[in-house]
Amino acid sequence: MRMHVMVLALSMVLGGCAGSGGAAGVEEEGVVHQATADESARLKDTKPIQATEVVLFVNGLGCPLCATNIDKVLEREDYTRSVAVDLGMGTVTLGLKPEETAPSPKDLYELVHDSGFTLVKISTR
């Protein structure tokens, strides 16, 4: 009986959490990146990017630990100066070393895909 009550209480607590939608009572909408036809076409470009910083708009960054997959993969590349993942915006900001050959948008698309995510578009600074 004691076990029964304990299981019931836990179920109610967890069930309540699942239905509450957080402190504000509002379910997170979340970022959904979308690209225009031109932005999608740019991801097939094989020419090196001419910039010192690239913002990658990424879908699928489901949890903090998962997102680190991208950090680790990008940090191993010679051209990487810095990597910053923003879970709130669903973006990865990649700093490029000017002395190294920069990646192409297609290179970045494949690298993000290999990490288990989807690169929707990029912007350069």
Partner 1 sequence: MKYAKWACAAVPVLLAGMLADRAHGQEAMYTEAATMPAKGNWILRSQVHFYRYGENPLTGEKREDKYELMNTINVGLARALSLMVEVPMALSEKKDASGDTSWDRGVEDIHVTFKYRVFMENTGGVDTTRIALLGGAGVTSGDDRDFASQSVNPHLGGVYTRVWGRHGFNQDLIYQFNTGGTREANLGGDGPDDALNFNTAYLYRIYPDRFTSESVGAWYVTAEINGLYETNGDVELRWAPGLMYEGRTFGFEVMAQLPLWNELDERPELDFGVGLGFRFLF
List of residues contacting partner 1 (CB under 8 A): 3-4, 6-8, 10-12, 14-15, 17-19, 21-24, 27-33, 58-73, 76, 85-90, 113-118
Between helix 105-114 and helix 64-75 the angle, nearest 10°, is 130
Return the number of the residue (8 or 41) whose C-beta is nearest partner 1. 8
Taking the least distance from each CB to partner 1, the nearer of 16 and 98 is 16
What is Dmax (Cα atoms) for the chain? 70
In this structure, what token pair is assigned to residue 79? 């051209």
Tell the smallest beta-carbon distance from residue 122 to partner 1 (Å): 15
